[in-house]
Amino acid sequence: MSSVHPVRALSAALEAARTNAVETIAADGGPLSSAVLAELAMLQTALTATRQTLDEHGTRLGWGGDEGAVDQAVLELHSIK
């Protein structure tokens, strides 16, 4: 696995967790509980904050300013599983 900055790895992990949560919700097909919605909201909030941090500070701090790097980190995270 290539060297991925921890903030990008966090973003990739949050994206994967959100995707898994949405897929689980979709597969269940039942009514949505407040706990499920709260978990999804928490993941989305954390992912949004991470993305904003990358956008605002990534290039200046040497994390790269390329969204493709997050996409690559997601692919690398999935290849580990």
Query: How many CB atoms neighbour CB 69 within 10 A?
Result: 19
Altogether, the residues listed in the chain come to a count of: 81
Owning domain of residue 64: 6-80
Residue 63: pLDDT band (50, 70, 90) is: low
Residue 11 has pLDDT above 80, yes or no: yes
Residue 1 lies in a domain: no
Q: How confident is the model at residue 9 (pLDDT cuts 50, 70, 90)?
A: confident
pTM of the model: 0.67
Does some domain include residue 75? yes
Pick the more confident residue, 5 or 33. Answer: 33
In this prediction, residue 56 carries a pLDDT of: 83
Q: What is the model's pLDDT at position 71?
A: 61
- Residue 42 forms part of a structural domain: yes
Total domains in the fold of the chain? 1
Is 30 among the domain residues? Answer: yes
